[in-house]
Amino acid sequence: MFLDYSFPSNFFSVQGGRLHYVDIGEGPVIIMVHGNPTWSYYYRHLITLLSKTNRVIALDNMGCGLSDKPQNYPYCLARHIDNLEALIDHLQIRKFSLVVHDWGGAIGFGCGVRRIESLEKIVLMNTAAFRSERIPLRISLCRMPVLGQILVRLFNGFAWPAQFMAVNKKMNSKVATAFIAPYNSWKNRVAIYHFVKDIPLKENDTSYSTLIDIENSLSKIKERAIPLLICWGGKDFCFNDSFYDEWKKRFPDAESHYFKDGGHYVLEDKIDEIKPIVENFFQQ
């Protein structure tokens, strides 16, 4: 198995394929939702830590990690949210907290605002669930119809460089291998490309209206005083400080921890500092 990742695997069938997920521990439920181009492996340290006192569920979004990778599939924000909701229904979960990162923010918050009465706490890390027209050039290139597929699917020009660009300190080689292991071919990189392509920037983008609905519903979280923890890496080339400032503006009462030398994969750079913070947050 992969370094520091030896959790039992579970699979659940949804329309179009099977989702892989980790389900370990007992107690209040914490659901972890990853982004692109990671998978549930990103949360391995938090899974080990929090499953001592909680039931932790960490899924691989369709096309990611150990989940199926269908080639003709509607890889869009709404479908990823639907899949998460289907898993919650399948497991008969009535109350849950969220831990989200990158695309997991939009997916997790999208599910959370739909099920606001079930939502207990939220931990967010270098993510967004609101509109922004900011996109780095290197990511913009990967969105292009022909060039994007060549870069992302043929040359692995998104998942492979992330092991260097998404961290502020060098990754252990075995960890880096584990991050990109599920994405070892043109076929297996299908979701990585479509996640990039699906970034909602303008009104005619497929997931733009879905994101607006999520953004407009964020006030429900504040109205219900749902506790929110922000752990943010300040060396993120994608989700930079403008996103952090926006979260702080929307949720001024949130507990926030800013790691100026943490990269986009803030859990890789700052895990030792973040573990006690998250543990304390869920024990409160």
Is residue 140 scored above 90 in pLDDT? no
Residue-wise pLDDT tens digits, 38-47: 999 999 999 9
Q: What is the pLDDT of residue 96?
A: 98
Q: What is the pLDDT of residue 264?
A: 98
Task: Sketch out the chain's domains with CATH numbers.
Answer: 10-283 (3.40.50.1820)
Q: What is the pLDDT of residue 216?
A: 97
Structure tokens at 157: 């020009």
> Using CA atoms, how far apart are residues 64 and 180, in angstroms rounded to an integer?
10
Contact 114, 22 (CB under 8 A): no
Spatial neighbors of 248 by CB under 8 A, at least 6 apart, are: 230, 254, 256
Backbone angles phi, psi at 170, to 5 degrees: -60, 135
Q: What is the pLDDT of residue 137?
A: 76
Q: What is the pLDDT of residue 133?
A: 85
Q: What is the pLDDT of residue 201?
A: 93
Count the alpha carbons within 13 Å of 237 in the hemisphere toward its beta carbon.
12
pTM, 2 dp: 0.97
Strand, helix or coil for residue 11:
strand
Residue-wise pLDDT tens digits, 84-131: 999 999 999 999 999 999 999 999 999 999 999 999 999 999 999 999
Provide the Cα torsion 34, 224, 53, 14; round to 10°. Answer: -40
Is residue 73 scored above 90 in pLDDT? yes
Question: Looking up tokens 């997916």, which residue turns up?
Answer: 107
What distance lies between CA 223 and its chain's CA centroid?
Answer: 24
Average pLDDT over residues 20-37: 98
Is residue 1 scored above 90 in pLDDT? no
> Using CA atoms, how far apart are residues 96 and 52, in angstroms rounded to an integer?
16
Contact 235, 268 (CB under 8 A): no
Q: What is the pLDDT of residue 44?
A: 98
The CA-to-CA distance between both ends of the chain, in Å, stands at: 34
Residue-wise pLDDT tens digits, 188-247: 999 999 999 999 999 999 999 999 999 999 999 999 999 999 999 999 999 999 999 999
Residue-wise pLDDT tens digits, 238-272: 999 999 999 999 999 999 999 999 999 999 999 99
Is the C-alpha dihedral spanning 203, 206, 210, 211 positive or negative? negative
Angle at 14 between CA 124 and CA 186, to 5 degrees: 75
Residue-wise pLDDT tens digits, 10-21: 999 999 999 999
Helices (H), the chain: 44-50, 77-90, 103-114, 137-142, 147-149, 159-165, 173-180, 190-197, 208-223, 241-250, 266-283
DSSP assignment of 14-28? ETTEEEEEEEE--SS
Length of the chain: 284
Residue 152 is given by DSSP the state I
